[in-house]
Chains A and B, each alone.
Chain A
Amino acid sequence: MLDLTTLLERCRQGDDLAWEALVRQYQSRVYAMALHYMRNAEEARDVAQDIFVRIYQRLETFQSDQAFLPWMLRLARNVCIDGLRHRKARPLANGVAIDDAVQIASTAPTPEQISETRSCRDLLYRAMDRMSEADREILMLKEIQGLMIEEISSLLKVPAGTVKSRCNRARLDLAERVRRLDPSYGA
């Protein structure tokens, strides 16, 4: 697989194949992020497409010396927030539960593991659904997408200490909610 720097350079030169490779490489991550914000598979799909269109348009503004993932997630977050605003203007007719058709991009080898992974994912999603948007967002950025505290601090424009304390609080909150739903979780 090509390293990211080369891939990005090729993309900026207008190589369509490089762009396809980039989309292929990040589609699962971008889609997952869109799903976390939108909480609806169909909307998440549209928003994820919009994210890639935005990335495509702004790729020339990306500086080679900065990290790509935080840059991409920042763009993705902005598009998701636009999508949420748009949705608030025109609310969904039905609920916002995450669709069962969503598949985790892991390659679990056995049906039992697939089933376990799915039930675990559902449990976490159900617990997160009851959390505040702010807590869910910080969990998604820190614990799920794996951004550094400094990167989240820059993204959300809040001090690093606040990010850390909010994240820890959100983790504890999630752990308590998960245990209420399934007391055997983690045992």
Chain B
Amino acid sequence: MDCRTFIERLDDLISGTLRPSERRAAEAHRAACAECRDLGNLLAASPGEGGAAAPPGFLGGVLERTSGGSCRSAHRRLCDHVDGVLDAVDDELLRPHLNDCPECAGLALSLVRMKIDLPALAELQPDGRFLADVLARTTARERFTPGWAARLAEGWQRLLQRPRFAFEGAYLGSIILVMLFGSPTSPLAGVPQRALDLVRSNPVAGLRTAGEEVAPWIHITVPPQWKEKGAELAGRTRELADDVARRSSGRLEELEQDLGTLWERLTSERATNDTNGTATGADRVEGEDQ
């Protein structure tokens, strides 16, 4: 084996994957060639044996200048590592990092502890009255499903209590206004513009002009109609008065006759009473004297 072949096979020689015949040839060449022996010894030496041990911080320096550090990558795998669901390759990559990085190792330990502590927070004991209060609020009520009206009322109540309800109402109102007036195809699209035009065109003057246009027509049309209606009304009133007079005159005559008869009877009876009264008074005076 020559030097070139030896160097080509050196990695396999060190890792022990060389075939036996080639291994024997390589060992023989190493024994014979001082340069290849030194090279073989240099590469085969492990750091622990005083070979090429990296100085402290070497790895960190390299990573800083290349990938920027692997802690973020380790963080992504930490939870799965703690849960035991990280696949074998990732786990093998992560372990050496955890051995060398105290920050990530501490984080991993915290995650392990949290895995124990957090489930303990799932149950917290309320005070002693809690059960009694719940039972009072449930078993005394109507069983299970409330009526649809109650559920509707409850839902509406919840909807009203939402803090965003006012905003949503305003939003909905704006949409309706836009649909009614804002879009070119909406039914009342021209109304705002017409209203604006009207306001800008001095509406008082517009009304006056309109009034001046209408007033002559009113003057021409209304008085004859009023006269006609007034005459008709006066005729009807007269007819009504005549009718009332006609109906009441007969009755008045009857009443006058009845009143005359009654008056005569009253006066005659009074005269009779006066005569009798005078006689009786004279008798009483005479008796007293006696």
Whether the pair A24, B131 counts as a contact (CB closer than 8 A) is yes
- Residues of chain A from 53 to 92 with CB closer than 8 A to chain B in the complex: 53, 56-61, 82, 85-86, 88-89
- Residues of chain A from 20 to 45 with CB closer than 8 A to chain B in the complex: 20, 23-24, 27-29, 31-32, 35-36, 45
B162 partner, pick from A19, A45, A85, A174, beta carbons under 8 A: A85
- A89 and B107 alpha carbons, distance in the complex (Å): 39
Interface of chain A, main secondary structure: helix
Interface string of B94-107 (1 = CB under 8 A from A): 00000000000011
Indicate whether A4 reaches chain B with its CB closer than 8 angstroms. no
Whether the pair A16, B124 counts as a contact (CB closer than 8 A) is no
Indicate whether B52 reaches chain A with its CB closer than 8 angstroms. no
Among B19-27, B137-145, B201-209, which stretch is in contact with chain A? B137-145
- Residues of chain B from 130 to 184 with CB closer than 8 A to chain A in the complex: 130-131, 133-135, 137-139, 141, 143-146, 158, 161-163
Whether the pair B79, A31 counts as a contact (CB closer than 8 A) is no
- A139 and B79 alpha carbons, distance in the complex (Å): 13
Whether the pair B163, A85 counts as a contact (CB closer than 8 A) is yes
Whether the pair B124, A31 counts as a contact (CB closer than 8 A) is yes
- A153 and B130 alpha carbons, distance in the complex (Å): 31
Indicate whether B281 reaches chain A with its CB closer than 8 angstroms. no
The residues of B that contact A12 with a CB separation of less than 8 Å are 144
In the complex, what's the smallest C-beta–C-beta distance from B69 to chain A, in angstroms? 16
Indicate whether A120 reaches chain B with its CB closer than 8 angstroms. yes
In the complex, what's the smallest C-beta–C-beta distance from B150 to chain A, in angstroms? 10
Indicate whether A178 reaches chain B with its CB closer than 8 angstroms. yes
The residues of A that contact B256 with a CB separation of less than 8 Å are none
Indicate whether B110 reaches chain A with its CB closer than 8 angstroms. yes
- A186 and B105 alpha carbons, distance in the complex (Å): 10
B139 partner, pick from A16, A104, A121, beta carbons under 8 A: A16
The residues of B that contact A52 with a CB separation of less than 8 Å are 134, 137-138
Beta-carbon nearest neighbor of B124 in chain A? A32
- A144 and B106 alpha carbons, distance in the complex (Å): 22
The residues of B that contact A24 with a CB separation of less than 8 Å are 131
- A60 and B78 alpha carbons, distance in the complex (Å): 43
Whether the pair A124, B137 counts as a contact (CB closer than 8 A) is no
- Residues of chain B from 84 to 123 with CB closer than 8 A to chain A in the complex: 106-107, 109-115, 117-123
Indicate whether A126 reaches chain B with its CB closer than 8 angstroms. no
B124 partner, pick from A28, A56, A143, A174, beta carbons under 8 A: A28
Indicate whether B126 reaches chain A with its CB closer than 8 angstroms. yes
A179 partner, pick from B110, B123, B134, B139, beta carbons under 8 A: B110
Given that A53-B137, A144-B122 are contacting pairs, would A45 and B110 also be in contact in the complex, using a CB cutoff of 8 Å?
A: no
Indicate whether B127 reaches chain A with its CB closer than 8 angstroms. yes
Given that A14-B143, A179-B107 are contacting pairs, would A45 and B121 also be in contact in the complex, using a CB cutoff of 8 Å?
A: no
B114 partner, pick from A58, A145, A174, beta carbons under 8 A: A174
Beta-carbon nearest neighbor of B75 in chain A? A172
- How many residues of B are counted as interface, with CB atoms below 8 angstroms from the partner's CB atoms? 42
- A168 and B161 alpha carbons, distance in the complex (Å): 35
Whether the pair A29, B131 counts as a contact (CB closer than 8 A) is no
In the complex, what's the smallest C-beta–C-beta distance from A51 to chain B, in angstroms? 9
B111 partner, pick from A19, A48, A171, beta carbons under 8 A: A171
Interface string of A145-187 (1 = CB under 8 A from B): 1100000000000000000000110011011101100010111
Whether the pair A187, B125 counts as a contact (CB closer than 8 A) is no
The residues of A that contact B146 with a CB separation of less than 8 Å are 57
Given that A120-B117, A146-B119 are contacting pairs, would A27 and B126 also be in contact in the complex, using a CB cutoff of 8 Å?
A: yes
Given that A24-B131, A171-B79 are contacting pairs, would A124 and B125 also be in contact in the complex, using a CB cutoff of 8 Å?
A: no
- A123 and B107 alpha carbons, distance in the complex (Å): 16
In the complex, what's the smallest C-beta–C-beta distance from B225 to chain A, in angstroms? 65
In the complex, what's the smallest C-beta–C-beta distance from B156 to chain A, in angstroms? 14
Whether the pair A124, B79 counts as a contact (CB closer than 8 A) is no
Given that A19-B139, A174-B114 are contacting pairs, would A31 and B126 also be in contact in the complex, using a CB cutoff of 8 Å?
A: yes
In the complex, what's the smallest C-beta–C-beta distance from B104 to chain A, in angstroms? 10
Given that A23-B135, A60-B144 are contacting pairs, would A103 and B125 also be in contact in the complex, using a CB cutoff of 8 Å?
A: yes
Smallest CB-CB A-B distances: 3 pairs:
A28-B123, A186-B113, A186-B109
